[in-house]
Amino acid sequence: MIRVFPRRTKWTPIDDLAFVGDPPLFRPREQPVFVSVTFTWDIAEGERLARAWSNYYRDVRIGGPAFGDQGGEFEAGRFIKDGVTITSRGCPWKCSWCFVPKREGTIRELKIKEGYIVQDNNLLACSRGHIESLFEMLRGQRKAAVFAGGLDIRLLKPWHKKLIDSIRVHELWFACDTMTSLRNLERAAEILDGIPQRKRRCYVMIGYGNESLKQAETRLEKVFALGFDPFSQLYRGDGERQYGADWKALNRKWSRPAAYHSST
């Protein structure tokens, strides 16, 4: 199957049947084409690409998370690059800014496929048996694990730390999207004691609701002070929300560890 993406990200597959944008001059043989759209703000471009590829292929379909696809069993390397694995879908929480529960529902455990980059939306909401099986798989990987999907600080327990200590880890990702979640991050910091800060990363959504620039900056600073390297993300919602230069500067600083480590 040919897969087409509106934009290239670090997760985009790079095999011979993965394309970003319009059909090239030299194209693969006739076969199904699937235009995969992750972000809602790319829907219009995805629809344009579907029309463009339809000029050369009979079976062209469009879908992806932006269209509310629930996601089935994970197929390694198809819509996300090799090395990434997704072992569950969904999330039990219903955060107002998050589309995952609406699209994928509550937690569904999938068959565990090989990979060292774990992209589950909420791995720690899975059963203990599933999590332990995942770590058993990770022990056999050649590369150190990256928990890029994020580990829920509300669900983190000491037994998770023992599993983490049993494998090689490159990065552990968490999230702190509100001021009230700082308390859970403090508890997580205690559980994760002994793990270097460079491995403890934290997504920090800023600009949601009525949050002020100062409030966002304060939260980012507190995340850093708790021993996590923040990765700031401007809230975008359904569309491409516009931000002023001050918000963009704050986001730029706190999305680059080299920038904020040198200034603190």
**Domain shared by 95 and 218, yes or no:** yes
| Boundary of a domain, candidates 16, 46, 65 | 65
Are residue 175 and residue 59 in the same domain, yes or no? no
Q: Show the beta-strand stretches assigned E in the chain.
A: 2-5, 18-20, 33-36, 60-63, 84-85, 88-89, 108-109, 117-118, 145-147, 169-175, 200-206, 229-234
Q: Smallest Cα–Cα separation from 65: which of 89, 46, 38?
A: 38
> Does residue 96 carry a pLDDT above 90?
no
Which pLDDT belongs to residue 107? 93
Q: Please give the pLDDT value at position 239.
A: 63
User: Which of 35, 65, 95 is a domain's end point?
Assistant: 65
Whether residues 174 and 190 fall in one domain: yes
Whether residue 21 is found in the same domain as residue 92: no
Contact between 119 and 80 under an 8 Å Cβ cutoff? The reply is: yes
Please indicate, yes or no, whether residues 76 and 50 belong to a single structural domain of this protein.
Answer: no
Q: Is the pLDDT of residue 101 over 80?
A: no
pLDDT, mean of residues 230-257: 90
pLDDT at residue number 247: 96
- Expressed as residue numbers, the domain containing 25 is 2-65
Residues 104 and 134 in one domain: yes
Express as a percent the part of the chain with pLDDT over 90: 81
List % helix, strand, coil for the chain (3-state, nearest 5).
Answer: 35, 15, 50
Q: Evaluate whether 172 touches 147 at the Cβ level (below 8 Å).
A: yes
Same domain, yes or no: 128 and 165: yes
Of 65, 82, 101, the residue that ends a domain is: 65
Q: 228 and 256, same structural domain?
A: yes
In this predicted structure, what is the pLDDT of residue 102? 80
> How many whole angstroms separate alpha carbon 156 and alpha carbon 228?
15
pLDDT at 130: 98
> Does residue 133 sit in the same domain as residue 191?
yes
Average per-residue pLDDT in the chain? 94
Do 113 and 244 lie in a common domain? yes
- Does residue 105 register a pLDDT over 90? no
Residue type at 264 in one-letter notation? T
**Domain with 120 in it: what CATH number?**
3.80.30
C-alpha span between 50 and 38 (Å, rounded):
15
Mean pLDDT across 114-134: 97
Query: What is the Cβ-side half-sphere exposure of residue 26, based on CA atoms within 13 angstroms?
Result: 1
- Which is more confidently placed, 71 or 117? 117
DSSP-assigned beta bridge partners for residue 20 = 5
Tens of pLDDT, residues 24-80: 999 999 999 999 999 888 999 999 999 999 999 999 999 998 898 888 889 988 999
How many domains are there within the chain? 2
Same domain, 41 and 104: no
Euclidean distance between CA atoms 38 and 35, whole angstroms: 10
103 falls in which pLDDT band (50, 70, 90)?
Answer: confident
Assess whether pLDDT exceeds 70 at residue 99.
Answer: yes
Are both 81 and 188 inside the same structural domain?
yes
